[in-house]
Amino acid sequence: MEKTVNQKAWFLILPVLILVAFSAVIPLMTVVNYSVQDTFGQNVFFWAGLEWFAEMLESDRMWDALGRQLMFSAIILVIQVPLGVFVALNMPKSGFWSSFCLVLMSLPLLIPWNVVGTIWQIFGRVDIGLLGYSLDALGISYNYTQNTFAAWATIIVMDVWHWTSLVALLAFAGLKSIPDAYYQAAKIDQASRWAVFRYIELPKMMGVLMIAILLRFMDSFMIYTEPFVVTGGGPGNATTLLSIDLVKMALGQFDLGPAAAFSIMYYLVILLISYVFYTVMTTIEKKEG
Amino acid sequence: MAKITLDNLAHSYYPNPKSEDDFALKELNHVWSDGEAYALLGSSGCGKSTLLNIISGLLHPSQGRILFDDKDVTQATTADRNIAQVFQFPVVYDTMTVRANLAFPLKNRGADPKYIADRVQQIGAMIGMEAELDKRARGLTADAKQKISLGRGMVREDVNALLFDEPLTVIDPHMKWELRTQLKSLHHEFGHTMIYVTHDQTEALTFADKVVVMYDGRVVQIGTPQELFDTPQHTFVGYFIGSPGMNVIPAEVAGDRAMVHGTQVDLGKGYDALSGKVEIGVRPEFVTLTEDAGLPVTVRRVEDVGRHKIVRAELFGTDINILADEDHNISPDMTNITFDPARVNVYVDDWLTSGKAA
């Protein structure tokens, strides 16, 4: 059969190309552009090749920030996922209180990052903050501006407060999709509460939990505003996470080249880890299935 | 195994039922004999699943009592009642193997591992899944999953009753037949009390010793397939059982005669004066299309289904079905029908009225 050849059809994808170019490719390319050049101001640039990348890979500063970042993401995942599932399991399944809980759960998600940071910044202050003041009054030494542990505890509790809802809501959606017959069958089979969770609820939640874990990982790995507002990366560099460090480098020190190289690697790391996460989780699911 | 007694049972999904209409299941007294196989037959929404869930303990009735062998279990939990139930849609534990699925109810009750292994093997053979025992349940087809559900229902030998809630809906037709036969032979072998909910009359009639027909939250008749066919107690039973169902024709009855729009119809029995809505019911099998005298009909369509012909006709504006033999030639001159007098039932306000032998 003779095929009709009409190359004009290519024009139809032009709007998408333009859109993607302006929203993703061009901004990314400017970063790539910076990463291979050096400048001393006045908009004069010199070719630097891969120098910045080499420098960044050897910089302790970046490796330390990456280490802190990984620790932060790991801790919040370990807390938020089980906690979110636990909350979802205990939410009323229907009726007024179910809707009430849903609204209550979504509230933290609706608060702008900056505001969340400010809330906790004030909440934790020893002089005027309810949390800081109470802890201090109880004789617990707590000062997130000076004590590393207190600073970490604050940003972790803040993130848990802000984002556990997301995990809980996704897990709840997964739970709601389980037909009643499963629970009835489990009753008839005399399954224990744990068995119901392990063999019915968890497998049915797996899909949404994977999405929750992935989202929470990516988000926490890119986190900037909230810890920046609360601790500003301190005390010292104790809570300087990758993006905080990046902004310091790019805008504070105006080291455009290294910062650009840094951000490209940052981007690649997120991509890589997300990919590994996804692959591992889908293989686990396949094995289970 | 147990005898199950329903005493004054009724259920409403409303917290404060006011009228009878609020009840999904209307007051009911019945004894399910130990070791019999029952089918609960009725159209959707007639309360049959409600009744089943009350027996299994998934629902607690608004009023009345349930007794298992004279022991009151109305408030007992599902587990305490020791019953097995198979649901309409397959319920399997996805992450377990088929073997683990079948073993699950036994394991939860702390049975001996050796016994579990043997019993699971046996059930696996019974549902024809021996080869798949070590596969994960997740990847299996819907009917394989349903077979696992059935197997899980049958794995415990000591259950008081086995309940099935339209279990074969998702199964392929040929497999349906096979599984139903399996269930039946299982029943013969172990003598469990079985209650099987369905809206498919063939399924009900082939499976059960006794069929319980439900209509609008009420049990309208309990009987053998033969009884349901010969003497439907309610016009619904006549209409629901049979293919096509019984013809119900408004009539006036006097003695051993009925008048249908001025034409006389002989009845096999005599009746006293009747009041209320009087109808006669006659199955299509016992209606004959003739050229001679009888009730005048207009034939609209003849459907040849192979082993017989179904004639769709009109009698004074109401539809009437006639079953004719395959070799019965239907000519345009056949404009009358006659009934087999012995097979004409009389209904008053939808309920069968028995007459005296004429």
Question: Residue A204: which residues within 8 A CB-CB, separation 6 or more?
Answer: A174, A175, A177, A178, A182, B94
Q: Specify the CATH number of the domain A60-288.
A: 1.10.3720.10
- Establish how many alpha carbons lie within 13 A of residue A260's alpha carbon, considering only the half-sphere containing its beta carbon: 22
Across the interface, whether the CB atoms of B79 and A288 are under 8 A apart is answered: no
Interhelix angle B142-154/B98-108, rounded to 10 degrees, is 30
pLDDT in tens, B258-276: 888 888 888 878 888 778 8
Which is higher by pLDDT, B10 or B2? Answer: B10
Q: What is the pTM of this model?
A: 0.75
Interhelix angle B48-56/A180-188, rounded to 10 degrees, is 40
Give the closest-approach CA distance of A193 to chain B in angstroms. Answer: 11
- Each of the 289 residues of chain A gets a pLDDT tens digit; together they read 678 888 888 889 999 999 999 998 898 888 888 888 887 777 777 887 788 888 888 888 888 888 999 999 999 999 999 999 999 999 888 889 999 999 999 999 999 988 999 999 899 888 888 888 888 888 888 888 888 888 899 999 999 999 999 999 999 999 998 888 888 888 888 888 898 898 889 988 888 888 899 899 988 988 888 888 888 887 888 888 888 888 888 888 878 888 888 888 888 888 898 888 888 878 876 765 4
Find the CATH number of the domain harbouring B255: 2.40.50.140
Q: How confident is the model at residue B278 (pLDDT cuts 50, 70, 90)?
A: confident
- Establish how many alpha carbons lie within 13 A of residue B275's alpha carbon, considering only the half-sphere containing its beta carbon: 0
Instruction: Give the separation between CA B241 and CA B239, rounded to whole angstroms.
Output: 6
Across the interface, whether the CB atoms of A185 and B104 are under 8 A apart is answered: no
- Mutation target vs A (from B50, B95, B97; most A CBs, 10 A cutoff): B95
pLDDT, chain B, mean: 84
Of A188, A190, A191, the CB nearest to B85: A188
A 10 A CB-CB count for B243 gives: 11
Last residue of a domain, one of B185, B209, B240: B240
Residue of chain B minimizing CA distance to A285 = B95
pLDDT in tens, B194-226: 888 888 888 888 888 888 888 888 888 888 888
- Taken as a whole, chain B contains a residue count of 358
Across the interface, whether the CB atoms of B152 and A179 are under 8 A apart is answered: no
pLDDT in tens, A151-190: 899 999 999 999 999 999 999 999 998 888 888 888 888 8
Domain that holds residue B317: 247-357
Across the interface, whether the CB atoms of A187 and B78 are under 8 A apart is answered: yes
Of A185, A199, A289, the CB nearest to B136: A289
- Mutation target vs B (from A190, A199, A201; most B CBs, 10 A cutoff): A190
Across the interface, whether the CB atoms of B83 and A185 are under 8 A apart is answered: no
Q: What is the helix, strand, coil percentage profile of chain B, to 5?
A: 30, 35, 35
Chain A residues with CB within 8 Å of chain B CB: 179, 181-182, 184-185, 187-192, 195, 199-200, 203-204, 288-289
Nearest partner of A90 among A105, A68, A77, judged by Cα: A105
Is it the case that residue B357 has pLDDT exceeding 70? Answer: no
Residue of chain A minimizing CA distance to B152 = A189
Residue of chain B minimizing CA distance to A194 = B108
- Mutation target vs B (from A177, A178, A189; most B CBs, 10 A cutoff): A189
Work out how many domains chain B is built from and give that number. 2
Q: Which residues of A are less than 8 Å from B149 in CB distance? A: 185
DSSP string, B168-223: TTTS-HHHHHHHHHHHHHHHHHH--EEEEEES-HHHHHHH-SEEEEEETTEEEEEE
Predicted local confidence at residue B87, as pLDDT: 86
Instruction: Give the separation between CA A28 and CA A122, rounded to whole angstroms.
Output: 36
- Are B174 and B252 in a shared domain? no
H or E element: which one contains A20? helix A14-20
Residue of chain A minimizing CA distance to B138 = A289
Is it the case that residue B358 has pLDDT exceeding 60? Answer: no
Percent of chain B scoring above 90 in pLDDT: 0
Last residue of a domain, one of B189, B220, B240: B240
Of A184, A192, A288, the CB nearest to B87: A184
Across the interface, whether the CB atoms of A184 and B109 are under 8 A apart is answered: no
Percent of chain B scoring above 70 in pLDDT: 99
Residue of chain B minimizing CA distance to A288 = B95
Residue B14's alpha-carbon distances to A219, B48, B61, B145, B204, in angstroms, are: 47, 17, 11, 34, 30
Across the interface, whether the CB atoms of A184 and B85 are under 8 A apart is answered: yes
Find the CATH number of the domain harbouring B226: 3.40.50.300
Last residue of a domain, one of B214, B240, B266: B240
Residue of chain B minimizing CA distance to A206 = B95
Phi, psi of B355 (to 5 degrees): -105, 180
Instruction: Give the separation between CA A233 and CA A245, rounded to whole angstroms.
Output: 8
Of A191, A195, A289, the CB nearest to B138: A289
Give the closest-approach CA distance of B56 to chain A in angstroms. Answer: 8
Q: Which residues of A are less than 8 Å from B87 in CB distance? A: 181, 184-185
Q: How confident is the model at residue B23 (pLDDT cuts 50, 70, 90)?
A: confident
Question: Residue B194: which residues within 8 A CB-CB, separation 6 or more?
Answer: B36, B37, B38, B161, B162, B163, B164, B183, B187
Q: What is the mean pLDDT of residues B293-299?
A: 83
pLDDT, chain A, mean: 87
- Mutation target vs A (from B13, B58, B149, B154; most A CBs, 10 A cutoff): B58
H or E element: which one contains B7? strand B4-12
Is it the case that residue B303 has pLDDT exceeding 90? Answer: no
Across the interface, whether the CB atoms of B108 and A190 are under 8 A apart is answered: yes
Across the interface, whether the CB atoms of A203 and B94 are under 8 A apart is answered: yes
Across the interface, whether the CB atoms of A185 and B85 are under 8 A apart is answered: yes
Q: Which residues of B are less than 8 Å from A188 in CB distance? A: 56, 78-79, 83-85, 105
